[in-house]
Amino acid sequence: MSTNYPIEIGLLLYPEAQLSAVLGMTDLLELANRFAVPQAESTGKAIRVSHWRQETSEALPSRVFDTMPEKDGSPSVLVVPPSLGEPATPEIAAPYSDWLRRHHAAGGTLASVCAGAFVLAETGLLDGRVATTHWLYEEQFQSRFPKVHLDVDRLIIDDGDLITAGGAMAWTDLGLKLLDRFLGPNIMVKTARILLVDPPGREQRFYSVFSPKLLHGDAAILKVQHWLQETEAKDIALGKLASISGLQERTFQRRFHKATGMTTSEYCQRLRVGRAREFLQFSRLSVESVAWEVGYQDPASFRKVFARIVGLPPGEYRQRFAAG
């Protein structure tokens, strides 16, 4: 698809699509045109925004809104926005799958935000690819689309022809990413400054809360998970955990990993780091004291584990997210 003036970005109005994201992204892209249009004669580039809706069950989606209705052409990018409620069911997503696949086959880019990834994944195009969605939907998404390599730590994954963004407000990140691609970094940064938003580079794990898998059906492992939650993972000795489960150590390790997707060490680290985040946000304890409170005797080890899981060192996390 051509990237000559104008570059069209289409937004899909499927049932329960979050209109605030659709309109917000439209405004973001239109704002960028204040910088781009005066240069369009020389650069040949500006942004055209269109909205697409399926008017009847038999019809294909059609353009129902257009910022440049006098222009011909088709979208270079089609974006599936977040859902206002729960992620779209297969029945809701199915009518759009062939249309999205044809757009992709013709050379177009597909993108999704938050639960919009469920509509995009129904096309099968994400199979074998790395994608993200809101961290709250991790287990549900993996259950429905096991062939997709899901990475909910990342806020946005730009895989060239397929782009997925995490949380519901990640439409700002996606919009800026598209501006960077089509209009260049200068216009992207100018737009971000006007809107007082960070340029792309955030990660979803800065904001996500560890949500352990509890619906796996293994009562012995669930018993251990509840005990770890109650005791804040202060005692994580393998023998102790196996004893609580009533299983032999090797059997316990195997079943724990199968049920939770993690080793006991990784699981307990995430519980401890979750507690540490609360201390860093809502207390004045030093980082060393926080480390001690959550079960680390070596502050250096705590800092290393915290940065690996959260993506920021404890001090920087506190500066960014401390309450008051």
* 149-207 pLDDT tens trace: 999 988 888 888 899 999 888 999 999 999 988 888 788 888 988 888 877 666 667 76
Query: How far out from the chain centre does Cα 9 lie?
Result: 20
Taking only the tens place, the pLDDT of each residue in 266-281 is 999 999 998 898 889 8
Residue whose structure tokens are 């993506």 = 311
Domains 7-206 and 219-321 share a fold: no
Rounded CA-CA distance 99/105 in Å is 10
Share of the chain above pLDDT 90, in %: 61
Identify which has the larger pLDDT, 286 or 58.
Answer: 286
Q: According to the model, what pLDDT value does residue 146 have?
A: 96
Q: What is 219-321's CATH superfamily?
A: Homeodomain-like (1.10.10.60)
For 228-260, letters b (16+ CB in 10 Å) and e give beeeebeebeeeebbebbebeeeebbebbeebb
Kindly give the interhelix angle for 171-182 and 185-195, rounded to the nearest 10 degrees: 150
> What is the topology classification, in CATH, of domain 7-206?
Rossmann fold (3.40.50)
Q: Could you report the per-residue pLDDT of 125-155, keeping only the tens digit for each?
A: 999 999 999 999 999 999 999 999 999 988 8
pLDDT band at 249 (very low <50, low <70, confident <90, very high): very high
Write down the domain spans for the chain: 7-206, 219-321
Cα–Cα distances in Å, from 261 out to 43, 138, 167, 305?
49, 12, 22, 18
Q: CA 131 to CA 121: how far, in whole Å?
A: 9
Q: What is the pLDDT at residue 58? A: 77
